[in-house]
A = this chain, B = another copy of it.
Amino acid sequence: MLKRNVLAAVIAITTAWGTVGAMSHPVMLEDQGSFMAGGTVVTAPGTYDGKDPKKLDGETLHGDAAYVFWQKPVAAHKLGMVFLHGYGQSGKTWESTPDGRDGFQNIFLEKGYTTYVVDQPRRGKASQSTVPAELTAVPQDQLWFNTFRIGEYPRIYDNAAVPRDAESQAQFFHQMVPDTGALDNKVVAAAMDAVMTKSGDSVLVTHSAGGGPGWMTAIKNPHVKAVISLEPGTFPFPEGEVPQPEVTSSPFPAVGMAVPKDDFMALTKIPIVVYFGDNIPSGTTPVDNWGQDNWRVRKNLADAWAKVVNRYGGDVTIVSLPDIGIKGSTHFMMADLNNRDVADAMERWMTTKGLTQK
Protein backbone atom coordinates (compact mmCIF):
# COMPACT_ATOMS: atom_id res chain seq x y z
CA MET A 1 0.00 0.00 0.00
CA LEU A 2 2.85 2.32 0.82
CA LYS A 3 4.41 1.97 -2.60
CA ARG A 4 1.13 2.64 -4.34
CA ASN A 5 0.48 5.71 -2.20
CA VAL A 6 3.87 7.21 -2.87
CA LEU A 7 3.62 6.55 -6.58
CA ALA A 8 0.17 8.11 -6.59
CA ALA A 9 1.54 11.10 -4.76
CA VAL A 10 4.21 11.62 -7.38
CA ILE A 11 1.66 11.41 -10.18
CA ALA A 12 -0.70 13.77 -8.40
CA ILE A 13 1.95 16.34 -7.66
CA THR A 14 2.99 16.26 -11.29
CA THR A 15 -0.51 16.68 -12.66
CA ALA A 16 -2.48 18.62 -10.05
CA TRP A 17 0.05 21.24 -8.99
CA GLY A 18 -1.31 24.61 -9.77
CA THR A 19 -4.89 23.55 -10.51
CA VAL A 20 -7.10 26.61 -10.02
CA GLY A 21 -8.79 26.52 -6.64
CA ALA A 22 -7.04 23.34 -5.58
CA MET A 23 -4.76 22.95 -2.61
CA SER A 24 -1.33 24.20 -3.60
CA HIS A 25 0.11 20.73 -3.03
CA PRO A 26 -1.29 17.34 -1.95
CA VAL A 27 -1.28 16.75 1.79
CA MET A 28 -0.51 13.40 3.41
CA LEU A 29 -3.29 13.06 5.93
CA GLU A 30 -2.45 10.89 8.91
CA ASP A 31 -5.93 10.93 10.34
CA GLN A 32 -9.16 12.88 10.49
CA GLY A 33 -12.51 12.68 12.19
CA SER A 34 -15.22 14.50 14.04
CA PHE A 35 -16.66 14.50 17.53
CA MET A 36 -19.14 16.28 19.77
CA ALA A 37 -17.78 17.99 22.88
CA GLY A 38 -19.47 19.13 26.08
CA GLY A 39 -23.19 19.71 26.15
CA THR A 40 -25.89 18.79 28.59
CA VAL A 41 -28.72 16.29 28.93
CA VAL A 42 -32.28 17.23 29.84
CA THR A 43 -34.97 14.76 30.87
CA ALA A 44 -38.71 15.10 30.29
CA PRO A 45 -41.00 14.81 33.35
CA GLY A 46 -42.59 11.45 34.04
CA THR A 47 -41.40 7.87 33.87
CA TYR A 48 -40.09 6.29 30.69
CA ASP A 49 -42.22 3.42 29.55
CA GLY A 50 -41.24 2.50 26.00
CA LYS A 51 -44.35 0.49 25.17
CA ASP A 52 -46.10 3.47 23.55
CA PRO A 53 -43.75 5.25 21.14
CA LYS A 54 -45.95 8.34 21.19
CA LYS A 55 -45.56 8.77 24.95
CA LEU A 56 -42.33 10.68 25.55
CA ASP A 57 -42.44 10.78 29.38
CA GLY A 58 -39.02 10.47 30.94
CA GLU A 59 -37.14 10.61 27.63
CA THR A 60 -33.82 12.48 27.38
CA LEU A 61 -32.41 15.08 25.01
CA HIS A 62 -28.68 15.57 24.43
CA GLY A 63 -27.95 19.13 23.34
CA ASP A 64 -25.69 22.17 23.61
CA ALA A 65 -22.53 20.30 22.61
CA ALA A 66 -20.02 21.68 20.11
CA TYR A 67 -19.21 19.83 16.90
CA VAL A 68 -15.59 19.53 15.78
CA PHE A 69 -14.08 18.29 12.51
CA TRP A 70 -10.35 17.68 12.83
CA GLN A 71 -7.55 16.73 10.49
CA LYS A 72 -3.98 15.75 11.30
CA PRO A 73 -1.31 15.88 8.61
CA VAL A 74 1.76 13.67 8.93
CA ALA A 75 4.66 15.28 10.81
CA ALA A 76 2.32 17.85 12.33
CA HIS A 77 3.40 20.81 14.43
CA LYS A 78 3.17 20.16 18.18
CA LEU A 79 0.37 22.66 18.74
CA GLY A 80 -2.94 22.24 16.98
CA MET A 81 -5.12 25.11 15.79
CA VAL A 82 -8.74 25.36 16.96
CA PHE A 83 -11.01 27.58 14.88
CA LEU A 84 -14.16 29.17 16.34
CA HIS A 85 -16.47 31.05 13.95
CA GLY A 86 -18.54 34.17 14.55
CA TYR A 87 -22.19 35.21 14.44
CA GLY A 88 -24.49 33.72 11.81
CA GLN A 89 -21.77 31.28 10.82
CA SER A 90 -20.64 27.70 11.32
CA GLY A 91 -17.23 26.13 10.80
CA LYS A 92 -17.84 26.81 7.09
CA THR A 93 -16.20 30.18 7.80
CA TRP A 94 -12.80 28.45 7.75
CA GLU A 95 -13.42 26.03 4.89
CA SER A 96 -13.46 26.81 1.17
CA THR A 97 -13.99 30.48 0.40
CA PRO A 98 -17.22 31.51 -1.34
CA ASP A 99 -15.35 31.50 -4.66
CA GLY A 100 -13.94 28.03 -4.00
CA ARG A 101 -10.37 28.87 -2.98
CA ASP A 102 -8.68 27.38 0.06
CA GLY A 103 -9.78 28.73 3.40
CA PHE A 104 -7.77 28.58 6.60
CA GLN A 105 -8.73 24.92 7.13
CA ASN A 106 -6.78 23.92 4.02
CA ILE A 107 -4.08 26.57 4.27
CA PHE A 108 -3.04 25.60 7.79
CA LEU A 109 -3.36 21.89 7.02
CA GLU A 110 -0.95 22.47 4.13
CA LYS A 111 1.33 24.32 6.55
CA GLY A 112 1.41 21.17 8.69
CA TYR A 113 -0.99 22.03 11.51
CA THR A 114 -3.62 19.75 13.01
CA THR A 115 -6.81 21.73 12.56
CA TYR A 116 -10.01 21.60 14.62
CA VAL A 117 -12.93 23.36 12.96
CA VAL A 118 -15.76 23.98 15.42
CA ASP A 119 -19.50 24.50 15.06
CA GLN A 120 -20.50 26.16 18.31
CA PRO A 121 -23.46 24.79 20.30
CA ARG A 122 -26.85 25.71 18.81
CA ARG A 123 -25.33 26.25 15.36
CA GLY A 124 -24.64 24.06 12.31
CA LYS A 125 -23.90 20.41 12.99
CA ALA A 126 -24.16 21.22 16.69
CA SER A 127 -27.66 22.63 16.36
CA GLN A 128 -29.42 20.40 18.89
CA SER A 129 -30.31 22.89 21.62
CA THR A 130 -31.69 22.03 25.04
CA VAL A 131 -33.94 25.10 24.90
CA PRO A 132 -36.72 25.79 22.39
CA ALA A 133 -36.27 28.49 19.76
CA GLU A 134 -38.34 30.33 17.23
CA LEU A 135 -36.58 30.71 13.89
CA THR A 136 -37.89 33.72 12.03
CA ALA A 137 -36.18 33.44 8.62
CA VAL A 138 -36.10 37.25 8.45
CA PRO A 139 -34.25 38.50 5.35
CA GLN A 140 -31.21 40.50 6.44
CA ASP A 141 -28.37 39.71 4.02
CA GLN A 142 -27.80 43.41 3.48
CA LEU A 143 -27.46 44.08 7.21
CA TRP A 144 -24.57 41.63 7.24
CA PHE A 145 -23.10 42.79 3.93
CA ASN A 146 -22.61 46.25 5.44
CA THR A 147 -21.63 45.06 8.91
CA PHE A 148 -19.03 42.73 7.43
CA ARG A 149 -17.52 45.70 5.56
CA ILE A 150 -17.90 44.20 2.14
CA GLY A 151 -19.27 47.57 1.15
CA GLU A 152 -22.42 49.62 1.39
CA TYR A 153 -24.94 47.35 -0.30
CA PRO A 154 -25.04 46.95 -3.26
CA ARG A 155 -21.74 48.80 -3.72
CA ILE A 156 -18.62 46.76 -2.90
CA TYR A 157 -15.79 48.95 -1.60
CA ASP A 158 -13.33 49.66 -4.41
CA ASN A 159 -10.45 48.27 -2.38
CA ALA A 160 -12.30 45.28 -0.92
CA ALA A 161 -10.34 42.06 -1.52
CA VAL A 162 -13.42 40.06 -2.45
CA PRO A 163 -14.63 38.29 -5.60
CA ARG A 164 -17.25 40.35 -7.44
CA ASP A 165 -19.27 37.70 -9.24
CA ALA A 166 -22.86 36.93 -8.28
CA GLU A 167 -22.26 33.23 -7.58
CA SER A 168 -19.55 33.94 -4.99
CA GLN A 169 -21.80 36.43 -3.24
CA ALA A 170 -24.67 33.90 -3.23
CA GLN A 171 -22.35 31.24 -1.78
CA PHE A 172 -21.37 33.66 0.98
CA PHE A 173 -24.96 34.44 1.95
CA HIS A 174 -26.02 30.78 1.67
CA GLN A 175 -23.44 29.73 4.24
CA MET A 176 -25.10 31.82 6.96
CA VAL A 177 -26.94 29.81 9.61
CA PRO A 178 -29.42 30.70 12.36
CA ASP A 179 -29.14 30.11 16.10
CA THR A 180 -31.20 27.05 17.01
CA GLY A 181 -31.41 28.15 20.64
CA ALA A 182 -30.72 31.39 22.51
CA LEU A 183 -27.20 32.62 21.79
CA ASP A 184 -25.50 32.15 25.16
CA ASN A 185 -21.76 32.77 25.48
CA LYS A 186 -21.62 30.67 28.63
CA VAL A 187 -23.01 27.67 26.75
CA VAL A 188 -20.48 28.26 23.95
CA ALA A 189 -17.57 28.68 26.37
CA ALA A 190 -18.52 25.54 28.31
CA ALA A 191 -18.54 23.47 25.12
CA MET A 192 -15.29 25.11 23.94
CA ASP A 193 -13.69 24.12 27.24
CA ALA A 194 -14.54 20.50 26.38
CA VAL A 195 -13.25 21.01 22.84
CA MET A 196 -9.86 22.20 24.11
CA THR A 197 -9.59 19.28 26.52
CA LYS A 198 -10.09 16.94 23.57
CA SER A 199 -7.79 18.84 21.18
CA GLY A 200 -4.99 19.26 23.68
CA ASP A 201 -2.49 22.12 23.52
CA SER A 202 -3.48 24.45 20.70
CA VAL A 203 -3.65 27.96 19.37
CA LEU A 204 -7.25 29.17 19.57
CA VAL A 205 -8.31 31.20 16.52
CA THR A 206 -11.53 33.14 16.94
CA HIS A 207 -13.59 35.36 14.69
CA SER A 208 -16.05 38.12 15.49
CA ALA A 209 -18.71 37.01 17.97
CA GLY A 210 -16.57 33.94 18.62
CA GLY A 211 -14.14 36.29 20.30
CA GLY A 212 -16.14 36.69 23.53
CA PRO A 213 -16.52 32.97 24.35
CA GLY A 214 -12.99 32.50 23.02
CA TRP A 215 -11.55 34.75 25.77
CA MET A 216 -13.61 32.84 28.34
CA THR A 217 -12.21 29.56 26.97
CA ALA A 218 -8.65 30.84 27.16
CA ILE A 219 -9.25 31.91 30.77
CA LYS A 220 -10.63 28.51 31.71
CA ASN A 221 -8.63 25.94 29.78
CA PRO A 222 -4.81 25.73 30.04
CA HIS A 223 -4.63 23.90 26.69
CA VAL A 224 -5.14 27.30 25.03
CA LYS A 225 -1.50 28.24 24.48
CA ALA A 226 -2.20 31.41 22.49
CA VAL A 227 -5.12 33.30 20.99
CA ILE A 228 -5.35 34.75 17.50
CA SER A 229 -8.53 36.77 17.28
CA LEU A 230 -9.84 38.18 14.01
CA GLU A 231 -11.98 41.27 14.65
CA PRO A 232 -13.50 39.97 17.89
CA GLY A 233 -16.77 41.50 18.97
CA THR A 234 -15.73 42.18 22.54
CA PHE A 235 -12.99 41.94 25.17
CA PRO A 236 -12.86 40.98 28.86
CA PHE A 237 -11.76 43.58 31.41
CA PRO A 238 -11.23 43.18 35.14
CA GLU A 239 -14.38 44.06 37.06
CA GLY A 240 -14.40 47.80 37.66
CA GLU A 241 -12.14 48.54 34.68
CA VAL A 242 -14.61 48.11 31.80
CA PRO A 243 -14.61 51.29 29.70
CA GLN A 244 -17.84 53.16 28.99
CA PRO A 245 -19.25 52.03 25.61
CA GLU A 246 -18.60 54.57 22.88
CA VAL A 247 -21.45 56.15 20.98
CA THR A 248 -21.77 54.46 17.59
CA SER A 249 -24.01 54.60 14.54
CA SER A 250 -23.87 50.78 14.43
CA PRO A 251 -26.85 48.85 15.79
CA PHE A 252 -24.33 46.71 17.70
CA PRO A 253 -22.55 48.73 20.41
CA ALA A 254 -19.10 47.53 21.50
CA VAL A 255 -19.48 46.62 25.16
CA GLY A 256 -16.59 45.21 27.17
CA MET A 257 -17.16 42.14 29.36
CA ALA A 258 -16.47 42.31 33.10
CA VAL A 259 -14.61 39.29 34.51
CA PRO A 260 -13.11 38.64 37.96
CA LYS A 261 -9.56 39.94 38.21
CA ASP A 262 -8.14 36.43 38.76
CA ASP A 263 -9.79 35.21 35.57
CA PHE A 264 -8.53 38.23 33.67
CA MET A 265 -4.97 37.56 34.81
CA ALA A 266 -5.00 34.21 32.95
CA LEU A 267 -4.99 36.23 29.73
CA THR A 268 -1.71 37.88 30.73
CA LYS A 269 0.03 34.48 30.69
CA ILE A 270 -0.35 33.65 26.98
CA PRO A 271 0.57 35.51 23.79
CA ILE A 272 -2.40 37.11 22.04
CA VAL A 273 -2.71 38.86 18.69
CA VAL A 274 -5.79 40.64 17.38
CA TYR A 275 -6.16 41.46 13.69
CA PHE A 276 -8.36 44.14 12.15
CA GLY A 277 -8.97 44.56 8.44
CA ASP A 278 -9.29 47.54 6.15
CA ASN A 279 -11.86 50.35 5.90
CA ILE A 280 -12.12 50.92 9.62
CA PRO A 281 -12.34 54.61 10.54
CA SER A 282 -10.22 55.91 13.42
CA GLY A 283 -11.03 58.47 16.07
CA THR A 284 -13.78 58.87 18.61
CA THR A 285 -16.46 60.45 16.44
CA PRO A 286 -19.15 58.19 14.94
CA VAL A 287 -19.26 58.13 11.14
CA ASP A 288 -22.46 57.85 9.09
CA ASN A 289 -21.34 54.55 7.55
CA TRP A 290 -22.66 52.37 10.39
CA GLY A 291 -21.13 49.21 8.94
CA GLN A 292 -17.71 50.80 9.30
CA ASP A 293 -18.51 52.53 12.57
CA ASN A 294 -19.26 49.12 14.09
CA TRP A 295 -15.55 48.34 13.79
CA ARG A 296 -14.25 51.80 14.72
CA VAL A 297 -15.63 51.30 18.23
CA ARG A 298 -14.39 47.71 18.43
CA LYS A 299 -10.90 48.66 17.35
CA ASN A 300 -10.87 51.44 19.95
CA LEU A 301 -12.03 48.92 22.56
CA ALA A 302 -9.27 46.53 21.42
CA ASP A 303 -6.64 49.24 21.85
CA ALA A 304 -7.95 50.07 25.32
CA TRP A 305 -8.01 46.39 26.24
CA ALA A 306 -4.47 45.69 25.01
CA LYS A 307 -3.22 48.49 27.24
CA VAL A 308 -4.88 46.96 30.28
CA VAL A 309 -3.66 43.42 29.61
CA ASN A 310 -0.13 44.59 28.89
CA ARG A 311 -0.13 46.84 31.96
CA TYR A 312 -0.78 43.69 34.01
CA GLY A 313 2.16 41.92 32.35
CA GLY A 314 0.43 40.44 29.31
CA ASP A 315 1.53 40.10 25.69
CA VAL A 316 -1.19 41.48 23.43
CA THR A 317 -0.51 42.86 19.96
CA ILE A 318 -3.19 44.66 17.96
CA VAL A 319 -2.51 44.56 14.23
CA SER A 320 -4.21 46.64 11.57
CA LEU A 321 -3.69 44.59 8.40
CA PRO A 322 -3.30 47.57 6.05
CA ASP A 323 -0.47 48.76 8.33
CA ILE A 324 1.49 45.59 7.49
CA GLY A 325 0.74 45.85 3.78
CA ILE A 326 -2.34 43.63 3.57
CA LYS A 327 -4.99 45.79 1.91
CA GLY A 328 -8.73 45.50 1.39
CA SER A 329 -9.50 42.97 4.13
CA THR A 330 -13.17 42.74 5.03
CA HIS A 331 -14.50 41.33 8.29
CA PHE A 332 -14.05 37.89 6.64
CA MET A 333 -10.31 38.22 6.14
CA MET A 334 -9.98 34.42 6.27
CA ALA A 335 -11.93 34.20 3.03
CA ASP A 336 -10.78 37.34 1.19
CA LEU A 337 -8.75 37.14 -2.00
CA ASN A 338 -5.56 37.76 -0.02
CA ASN A 339 -6.36 35.30 2.76
CA ARG A 340 -3.05 33.49 2.29
CA ASP A 341 -1.25 36.73 3.21
CA VAL A 342 -3.29 36.90 6.40
CA ALA A 343 -2.47 33.26 7.19
CA ASP A 344 1.22 33.92 6.56
CA ALA A 345 1.11 36.92 8.92
CA MET A 346 -0.52 34.74 11.57
CA GLU A 347 2.14 32.05 11.17
CA ARG A 348 4.97 34.61 11.35
CA TRP A 349 3.50 35.87 14.63
CA MET A 350 3.19 32.28 15.90
CA THR A 351 6.84 31.68 15.03
CA THR A 352 8.00 34.74 16.96
CA LYS A 353 6.10 33.41 19.98
CA GLY A 354 7.61 29.91 19.75
CA LEU A 355 4.29 28.28 18.82
CA THR A 356 5.34 26.52 15.61
CA GLN A 357 7.65 23.80 16.92
CA LYS A 358 7.42 20.35 15.37
Which A residues are within 8 Å of any B CB, using their own CB? 1-2, 4-6, 8-13, 16, 19, 21-23, 25-36, 39, 41-44, 48, 50, 53-54, 56, 58-63, 65, 67, 69, 73-75, 90-92, 95-96, 100, 102, 106, 119, 124-143, 146-147, 152-153, 170-171, 173-178, 180-181, 250-251, 290-291
CB-CB under 8 A from A43, the residues of chain B are 139
Question: Does the CB pair B128–A125 fall under 8 Å?
Answer: no
Neighbour of A129 across the interface among B60, B90, B135, B290, CB < 8 A: B135
Neighbour of A141 across the interface among B34, B61, B100, CB < 8 A: B61
Given contacts A2-B13, A42-B139, 11 further A-B contacts (CB under 8 A): A11-B74, A21-B33, A27-B29, A28-B28, A33-B96, A53-B291, A59-B142, A60-B141, A63-B137, A63-B174, A131-B137
Given contacts A134-B132, A173-B62, contact A34 B74 (CB under 8 A): no
Q: How far is the CA of A223 from the CA of B1 in the complex (A)?
A: 31
Chain copies in the assembled complex? 2
Question: Does the CB pair B48–A153 fall under 8 Å?
Answer: yes
Question: Does the CB pair B92–A176 fall under 8 Å?
Answer: no
8 A-B residue pairs with Cβ-Cβ distance under 8 Å, sorted by A, are A2-B10, A22-B30, A33-B100, A41-B170, A43-B139, A67-B92, A124-B127, A132-B134
CB-CB under 8 A from A180, the residues of chain B are 127, 135, 178, 180
Identity of the chain B residue whose Cβ is nearest the Cβ of A31 in the assembled complex: B22
Q: How far is the CA of A143 from the CA of B2 in the complex (A)?
A: 45
CB-CB under 8 A from A10, the residues of chain B are 2, 6
CB-CB under 8 A from A28, the residues of chain B are 5, 8-9, 12, 26-29
Q: How far is the CA of A194 from the CA of B351 in the complex (A)?
A: 43
Question: Does the CB pair A74–B33 fall under 8 Å?
Answer: no
Given contacts A39-B174, A136-B132, contact A96 B61 (CB under 8 A): no
In whole Å, how far is A120's beta carbon from the nearest beta carbon of chain B? 12
CB-CB under 8 A from A16, the residues of chain B are 30-31, 74
Question: Does the CB pair B61–A181 fall under 8 Å?
Answer: no
In whole Å, how far is A215's beta carbon from the nearest beta carbon of chain B? 25
Question: Does the CB pair B60–A173 fall under 8 Å?
Answer: yes
Question: Does the CB pair B42–A30 fall under 8 Å?
Answer: no
Q: How far is the CA of A50 from the CA of B59 in the complex (A)?
A: 47
Identity of the chain B residue whose Cβ is nearest the Cβ of A4 in the assembled complex: B75
Q: Which of A73, A95, A125, A170 is most buried by chain B, counting CB atoms within 10 A of its CB?
A: A125
Neighbour of A137 across the interface among B21, B58, B132, B135, CB < 8 A: B132
CB-CB under 8 A from A134, the residues of chain B are 132-135
Identity of the chain B residue whose Cβ is nearest the Cβ of A56 in the assembled complex: B140
Q: How far is the CA of A167 from the CA of B28 in the complex (A)?
A: 30
Question: Does the CB pair A30–B12 fall under 8 Å?
Answer: yes
Question: Does the CB pair B95–A33 fall under 8 Å?
Answer: yes
In whole Å, how far is A247's beta carbon from the nearest beta carbon of chain B? 15
Given contacts A33-B106, A95-B34, A96-B33, contact A128 B50 (CB under 8 A): no
Q: How far is the CA of A59 from the CA of B140 in the complex (A)?
A: 5
CB-CB under 8 A from A27, the residues of chain B are 5, 28-29
